Structure 1
Amino acid sequence: MLVHLLILALIIQINCSSICDSDACICKRYESELEFEGERIVCSHKHWNILQSNYSLPDISHSLDLSFINISIVHSSTLFKSNTLLELILNDNGITKIDADSFQLPELKRLDLSNNLLEFIDKETFRGVKKLDYLNLANNRFTSFTKLMFHPLSSLNEIVLDNNNLGPALRVSNLFDRSGFGLTDKIQNISMRGINLGNVPDNFFVDAYDLRKLIISNNSITEMFEIPYTLEYLDLSDNPITAIFSEDLTDLVALKVLKLNNLQIKTIPEATFKYLPALKVLELERNKNLTSFSKLAFGREVLADADNFELERLSLKGSRLSKLNEALSMPFGVLLELDLQGNPWKCDCELVWIKKLQISPEYYEHLRCGTPLYLYNARIFDLKAKNFSCKESHIGLTIAVVTFCAMLAFIAMWMFICLPKRQSRCNFLKNMYNPSTAYSVLPMAASFQSESNR
């Protein structure tokens, strides 16, 4: 009897105790970036289901981390009942289902459900989290927006949908489905990396009235699409896009960050980035087919006066560029950060100007020569200016001139050897320069004989 009473007392104590009083979690009190002072509770990487223990949260809780604890089904729990919790982390648990009304967290702003096995979210799931601002659903098993109910989340600002196979469904349905399944028009940040999306249909973002950040990398997009003019951040990397022109990037007056890494483009043509007045960061990395970069890529005006050149950081590393026009020294000279590493640069007199740029030493190591052969793999900033020579091109021109002169000499020698008579040589030369008279000139002797016969 006494044993039973002790067990019962222990159960009551556990049920009434705070999770911070257990050995299951680590609790830290601090002031967060979300301007809330409270407890951060970390219970990750435990090998038992903490939800079954019925612990309660401290009175002032800011963040609860329940990642990697092998939860398969999320159900109602005292841990999910709080009037102060702002952040709930449930990633990497193998979750297949979330019971309706599981979350009674009226102040919750951030929810991470990434790296689970979710295929469906009930429309009542988010009924108790009206203030949710950030939702991460990356690396789950969603295939259709009809199984995602976002419209109850009127405050949702950012969503991460990476690596869900949503692309095929989005070919026939709108991302901002007005029937209630899609995103609300208030969304500002969307990440759709690796969702198997092909070419983006016309008016795909027509209802995105205030979209600021769009990550649409690692898909199967082959051509540019209509980009929302409100964007401040755009990542199109890792798509088989073959060409980019100035008209693809017009009217993006707010765009500050543009990432165009690992595309199939071969050239950056004239005026490509001319109409991006607010652009601060431009990445053109790992473009294995990129061999040409127009000196007018940023427009003509910045070549003479870089005062209106707003770009601060430019990366061209890991492409196939071998030369850049010296006219770019003016805009490139005002950059805060310039990375030209990993290109097969032709280190001749036309490239020596690069040594005058204020490139940070951390970008020296792989800034190397591809040609000429005797400078192959040499670090550009280890070379002297005199090493950047154009002798090879001069030698080639000299060889060409000498060869041409030798050919002319050979022709002249042949004429004087094979055409012994002076008159014949003259006629040969005359016929060479006036072929139309080749058969109209008769020898003088023949002319006299004709007169005597008369």
Structure 2
Amino acid sequence: MLVHILLLAFIAQVKTTSICDRKSCVCWVKNVQNEDYQGENVQCSYVEKDILKGDYELPDIVNSLDLASNKIETVHSSHLLDSTTLIELLLNDNAITKVDVNSFQLPELKRLDLSNNQLELIDEEVFSNMRKLEYLNLANNRFTTFTKMNFHHLSSLNDIVLDNNNIGPSLKDSNLFDRSGSGLTNKIKSLSISGINLNTVPDNFFVDAYDISSLIISNNNITSVFEIPFTLKHLDLSDNPIKEISAEDFTDLIALQELNLDNLLIKEIPDYIFEHLPSLRKLTLERNNNLANFSKLAFGREVLDDPAEFKLESLSLKGSRLTRLDEALAVPLGELTELDLQGNPWRCDCDFVWVKTLQLSDQYTQHLRCDKPTTLFNAKIFDLKEKYFTCESRNRGFEIAIVVICATLGFVAIWVFLCLPTRKTGCGLFKNMYGPSTAYSILPMAASFHNDVDR
């Protein structure tokens, strides 16, 4: 009898073993200021494939559980997914194809990461016990239609990542913010839909996203700028085949602070395009291989003389095809705290020497180099002395003009010297040089005419 009692006690002890007792897991206390909670963080990534099948329990008070990279294929009920204190759960980089209903008994969960798995469908009841969830990452799965991702119960969700799921084509017929309950609620503040194979953004696409402040819609097939929500603070349009942008595309975006326009097909930054973005702080225009012209009036005319209202702090034009910038931009660009002009084929002549007056940190001058003229190819602009920034064609033209003027003046002086009334004989030299004068050619004709009359 005693043996049976000891055996049962041992079994009970095994079943209630804390996950923190495993040598392969790391547990530590999270100390975060301005938070109302404090508990252990459990890091159990790269542990074992069947970790959810083990009879391990979480600490009494736990904030975060990391189960990434364990080759988990199915998420099912487990002691590890049953907690009244867990706030963050990381299940990314597994091989999950299915999430069972009622797997998550996590009423306080706020952050869930299911990215980099093989999910094609999530039942709406999966989220029924996570009504406080604020952040959900489903990037890099195998969803092909938005209707297979039901968010009916996620009334608190405000940040969602759907990158690299082929759901773009299905959005032609279904609304991302479906009011029937399957779509996202109007509480969404941050949306990332990069690489979803989206070709066009329908009109009023974001009409129900009242509070959206961040939109990442990069790496799609969008060819023109769509109707942008006026509430945005951060917008990423990079890696789309957009060929043209204009000032009308960015009107009324008074809250926009960050704008990413990397790797588009645009050829120029036109006049006044950024003039009506009073809150803009960071602007990136990197890797625009067709970009050859940046208007001096891109930020408006007033900032060229008085940058008092110029709030931009960071600008990157790295890796484009610009060869020159107008010197008129020296005033506003001089106000920036970060300016990256590297990786452009700059023409280092007298029209570009003003760039050396900008106060750039070393990290932004290492690859700021000349492309033309050939004598300065690949030279570091900030290592060159100003005397090397010359305009050869302009100087040559000036020299030719001087020679022509001098020759003309010399000819006029000689003519004046020889043809003055006191120098008539000298002027005759010119007459002899160019043949008989008109007066002498007429005299014989006149004499002949009088002889005919006498007869």
Q: 2: CA distance between counterparts of 1:109 and 1:156? A: 9
Shift of 1:235: 0.5
Q: 1: CA distance between counterparts of 2:447 and 2:28? A: 121
**One-letter identity of the residue aligned with 2:29:** R
Residue in structure 1 matched with residue 16 of structure 2 by the alignment: 16
Query: Does 2:140 align with 1:139?
Result: yes
Shift of 1:7: 6.3
Shift of 1:181: 1.8
Residue in structure 1 matched with residue 74 of structure 2 by the alignment: 73
Q: 1: CA distance between counterparts of 2:9 and 2:169? A: 56
SS of residue in 1 equivalent to 2:252: coil
**One-letter identity of the residue aligned with 1:145:** F
Which is worse superposed, 9-18 or 366-375? 9-18
Residue in structure 2 matched with residue 25 of structure 1 by the alignment: 25
Superposed CA RMSD in Å reads 3.0
Q: 2: CA distance between counterparts of 1:28 and 1:152? A: 32
SS of residue in 2 equivalent to 1:124: helix
Shift of 1:132: 0.2
SS of residue in 2 equivalent to 1:234: strand
> Deviations 1:283-305 (Å, cap 9, x if unpaired)?
00011111100111000111111
Residue in structure 1 matched with residue 311 of structure 2 by the alignment: 310
Paired residues of 1:66 and 1:90 also in contact (CA < 8 A): yes
Which is worse superposed, 199-208 or 387-396? 387-396
Residue in structure 2 matched with residue 372 of structure 1 by the alignment: 373
Cα 1:75–1:392 change in 2 (3 A) is same
Residue in structure 2 matched with residue 83 of structure 1 by the alignment: 84
> Deviations 1:321-348 (Å, cap 9, x if unpaired)?
1111111111111111111101111111
Cα 1:3–1:223 change in 2 (3 A) is farther
Shift of 1:173: 1.8
**One-letter identity of the residue aligned with 1:15:** K
Shift of 1:405: 11
Gaps spanning 5+ residues in structure 2: where?
408-430
Residue in structure 2 matched with residue 411 of structure 1 by the alignment: none
TM-score by length of 1: 0.88
**One-letter identity of the residue aligned with 1:90:** L
Q: 1: CA distance between counterparts of 2:186 and 2:104? A: 24
Which is worse superposed, 32-41 or 288-297? 32-41
**One-letter identity of the residue aligned with 1:49:** D
Q: 1: CA distance between counterparts of 2:445 and 2:196? A: 92
The number of equivalent residue pairs is: 433
Q: 2: CA distance between counterparts of 1:418 and 1:76? A: 114
**One-letter identity of the residue aligned with 2:26:** I
Paired residues of 1:48 and 1:70 also in contact (CA < 8 A): yes
- The percentage of counterpart residues that share the same residue type is 61
State how 1:297-336 maps to structure 2 within 5 Å: 297-336=298-337
Q: 2: CA distance between counterparts of 1:333 and 1:372? A: 26
Cα 1:401–1:205 change in 2 (3 A) is farther
Residue in structure 2 matched with residue 273 of structure 1 by the alignment: 274
Which is worse superposed, 47-56 or 304-313? 47-56
Shift of 1:10: 4.0
Shift of 1:423: 4.4
Cα 1:51–1:389 change in 2 (3 A) is same
Paired residues of 1:14 and 1:53 also in contact (CA < 8 A): no
Q: 2: CA distance between counterparts of 1:270 and 1:453? A: 84
Shift of 1:48: 3.3
Paired residues of 1:122 and 1:149 also in contact (CA < 8 A): yes
Cα 1:404–1:16 change in 2 (3 A) is same
SS of residue in 2 equivalent to 1:138: coil
TM-score by length of 2: 0.88
State how 1:27-426 maps to structure 2 within 5 Å: 27-32=27-32, 35=35, 36-396=37-397, 398-399=399-400, 422-423=437-438
SS of residue in 1 equivalent to 2:315: strand
**One-letter identity of the residue aligned with 2:122:** I
Q: 2: CA distance between counterparts of 1:401 and 1:452? A: 59
Q: 2: CA distance between counterparts of 1:183 and 1:261? A: 28
Q: Give structure 1 regions of 4+ aligned residues with deviation exceeding 3 angstroms.
A: 1-11, 396-406, 416-424, 443-449, 451-454
> Deviations 1:149-169 (Å, cap 9, x if unpaired)?
113101001000000001101
Shift of 1:8: 5.2
